[in-house]
Amino acid sequence: MIKIKAIHTPSFWESVVLIVGIVLMIGVCIIYFDAVPHLPILFSILLLIGYGLLKRIPYRRLEKGLVEGAGAGMSAVFLFFFIGMLISSWMMSGTIPSLIYAGFHLITPTFFFAIVFIVSSIVGISIGSSLTTVATVGVAFIGMADVLGLSLPLAAGAIVSGAFFGDKMSPLSDTTNLASSIVGVDLFEHIRNMGWTTVPAFILTTIFFGILSPNVNTGDFDEIADFQETLLGTGMIHWYTVIPLLTLFVLTIKKMPALLTLAISSTVAVLLSFLHHNYGFADVLGILFKGFVSSTGVQDVDKLLTGGGMESMLFTVSLVILALSMGGLLFTLGIIQSFLGRIEALLKKVSSVIISSAVTAIGINVLIGEQYLSILLTGQAFQSSYEKVGLANKNLSRVMEDAGTVVNPLVPWSVCGIFISQVLGVSTLEYLPFVFFCLLSPILTIIFGYMGKTLTRIS
């Protein structure tokens, strides 16, 4: 995005008015009218085109900016399609069901909240979706906490913390892939680099939930047993189903490109699925495109095991293309350059660049309530600033996740905040103090940035 040359130099205040106008338009549409972000972003693109035409900029030049902006995300688009196929192939091979089944074995009355956090993390990594994790195993855990007479806000905090840890660190997650792709960082290099802040946050969160867990000796764990029994009944729980996961790990260690890694792991998973399913070639193609559909008859389990496919990525892909197109116009019209140019004097130190980008990611979440835009806009705006102070792009992608992805569920009017509060029956403000992982992540990334620790310089 930083390679797009500005063809206009607006004043600082023009840039501020346009940015504030876009933020308000998107925020009002999402928060008050419950609209998907696609339409307000499209309206913002029209606003920017109108501004450009008023400045007598030829439409063809504006159109070129749109195309260049969208082109910056083509690597992410292809990666998203392979993620969709990987999820559906891991479903049909039994890899994801087996990981979830193994995770449920950890549930005991002792250290209940800590174990809920860990199991939610395992499920989150397995399926790469925080909201799906919350809507399935999260509902089971909140029901168990209610039966045991435990704090529901604490239980919700453990569920959300684990779900977003999994979402953040899973190679299947669309936000993880988006953050790495938007600044041109290899997916698995991005995940490894996030470990510097994520692992300490995970350990501290586990300790906090362990301390806060009451000593419960009895309770109704029948719901977990039902989950396990239903999973076993699918006929997909086998030792060999971990082979696609091991393949993914081995290829990652060998630093194979993410797209090829996902493609090979998906192929292995499809081949393994024939050991316990009699799929036809047409069935496989249908599942890879439309996703896997579970038919156990148990609603919660079917919801958990249904998903994936290229088609499931179309919402994200269309959002990415629109947002990047808007970013292309913002750079073409010189709006981002004009805005950053005024505050550039404040962005000469490594610490100030990291803190500013983290605050920006948090601010977009608070103002707009949309984690995708938080990642996209922060990455577009600060990539050049990171390069100027000699920081590698993977530092920025880490900040985009630490202060973007995991902050969204903490905002009551955000997409994630509204969804989680409705599904778990616990308001955002009630569970907010106990979502330790999501609270610690931005704090740690700012502290490490201020201290200059765990940062990678441009070689």
pLDDT digits 0-9 by tens, 304-338: 788 888 998 888 788 778 877 888 898 899 887 78
pLDDT of residue 427: 85
Residue 436 clears pLDDT 70, i.e. is over it: yes
Cβ–Cβ < 8 Å for 98, 238: yes
Residue 382 clears pLDDT 90, i.e. is over it: no
Residue 345 clears pLDDT 70, i.e. is over it: no
* Percentage of residues in the chain having pLDDT higher than 70: 92
Length of the chain equals: 459
| Distance, CA of 444 to CA of 31 (rounded, Å) | 29
pLDDT of residue 413: 74
| Distance, CA of 134 to CA of 77 (rounded, Å) | 26
56-115 pLDDT tens trace: 999 999 999 999 888 876 776 787 788 789 888 988 998 888 877 886 777 766 788 999
Identity of residue 423: V
Residue 368 clears pLDDT 90, i.e. is over it: no
Mean pLDDT in residue range 428-437: 93
pLDDT of residue 349: 83
| Distance, CA of 295 to CA of 281 (rounded, Å) | 20
Higher pLDDT, 99 or 197: 197
Residue 217 clears pLDDT 60, i.e. is over it: no
Higher pLDDT, 386 or 256: 386
| Tokens 């036809």, residue located | 280
Cβ–Cβ < 8 Å for 411, 362: no
Q: How confident is the model at residue 143 (pLDDT cuts 50, 70, 90)?
A: low
How many Cα atoms within 13 Å fall on the side-chain side of residue 136?
26
pLDDT of residue 222: 64
Q: How confident is the model at residue 216 (pLDDT cuts 50, 70, 90)?
A: low
Measured CA angle at 266 (ends 264, 269), to 5 deg: 110
Mean pLDDT in residue range 134-145: 74
pLDDT of residue 449: 87
Higher pLDDT, 306 or 400: 400
Higher pLDDT, 198 or 321: 198
Q: What is the mean pLDDT of the chain?
A: 85
